[in-house]
Structure 1
Amino acid sequence: MAQLCDRRWTRASYLISTDTDLIPIPVLSSFFASKGFYWANLVPEPVMRQRLQNSLCFALYDIKSNSVEAAENILRRNAAVSSEDDPEDTSCSLESEC
């Protein structure tokens, strides 16, 4: 299967990215486990990551006053450490830079 290049677009304080490494898997999994996603089943983190990597995802982030590069670094760091954190805790944001 061909590998797609990650793309990103910005407008005002928003970043749209196809980079799945920016998506915090535990936070996404918590949405899948919620009552609002009654049509979806919660899957283990490795399965969720594989599904994302095999999909074309568009994620929207509010980057506020951070530069795109700084925002992506923060998002990558948050995604990397979020698997160790409580998926219900979404207090880490671009504003706080964790």
Structure 2
Amino acid sequence: MEEAKFADVPPMDWGMAAVQSLIATLVTLQRNGVLQISDVVSEIGNTIDYRTQHFPERRAKDQVLQHVYEMMMLADKNEAELAALKAKRDAAGGLPPSK
């Protein structure tokens, strides 16, 4: 069987694999008492809000950051905040289509 080469893997797959690895690392750090995921989630949320407010033309590029934020909230077991975030996003027209 031939091994897959990096060129064969779409860039978004690389990005999602990196995101999943990052989240797994952060969850491990939280379990070991090194950090609180809720603090990281808060900072990512603040970044999204700032960028949305000041750089609306970057909205499509922030789609991955939004996905990271949602995954982090799930990792933090904060379903209520996640539901509120998704409702807010949907009310604003949802995520832009990926290009």
Per the TM superposition, whether the score is higher than 0.5 is no
Higher RCO (Cα < 8 Å, 6 or more apart) = 1
TM-score normalized by structure 1?
0.34
